[in-house]
Amino acid sequence: MKDNSAKLTRSVYTAKLAKMTFKKTMTKKKPIPHFKSLEQEAAFWDHRSPLDYDFRPAQVEFSPRLKKRLISIRIHESLLQAAKLLAAKRHIPNQTLIHVLLEQKIKEESRKAA
């Protein structure tokens, strides 16, 4: 009889523990505050668990796919190596970096000309 009561006590304890864990994980999560700087955000997360906060996916707007055309240009080897190094630091392909920089510079020059 003693053995059955130990099993019963253990199963009741396990059920209570499971219920407490479920309630803890199902509680409403806190919204993530807005930060003025990266340092402020880093200090905030140093002392808090991200599991307590509501991480919803960011809403991203995609631009329509623009038709791209393959071209060939000649650039100095040193410029290409510098672009590859900068792209590696940013963790993006070097052609993507060159495209972005070229696009930014053309927009900037177009605004000046207007």
The pLDDT-based confidence of 30 (bands split at 50, 70, 90) is confident
Would you list the domain boundaries of the chain?
1-56, 63-114
pLDDT above 70 for 17 = no
> Rounded to an integer, what distance in angstroms lies between the CA atom of residue 77 and that of residue 55?
44
Q: Does domain 63-114 have CATH number 1.50.10?
A: no
Q: Give the residue with greater pLDDT, 59 vs 34.
A: 34
> Rounded to an integer, what distance in angstroms lies between the CA atom of residue 6 and that of residue 13?
10
> Rounded to an integer, what distance in angstroms lies between the CA atom of residue 11 and that of residue 18?
10
Closest to 73 in 3D by CA, of 53, 93, 46, 102 = 102
Main-chain dihedrals φ then ψ at residue 41, nearest 5 degrees: -65, -40
First to last CA, the chain: 93
Q: Is 51 exposed, middle or buried (0-12, 13-18, 19+ CB in 10 A)?
A: exposed
Rounded to two decimals, the pTM is 0.45
- Which region, left, alpha or beta, applies to residue 91 given φ > 0 means left and ψ of -120 to 50 means alpha? left
Convert the pLDDT of each residue in 36-74 to its tens digit. 998 999 999 898 888 888 877 777 777 788 888 999 999
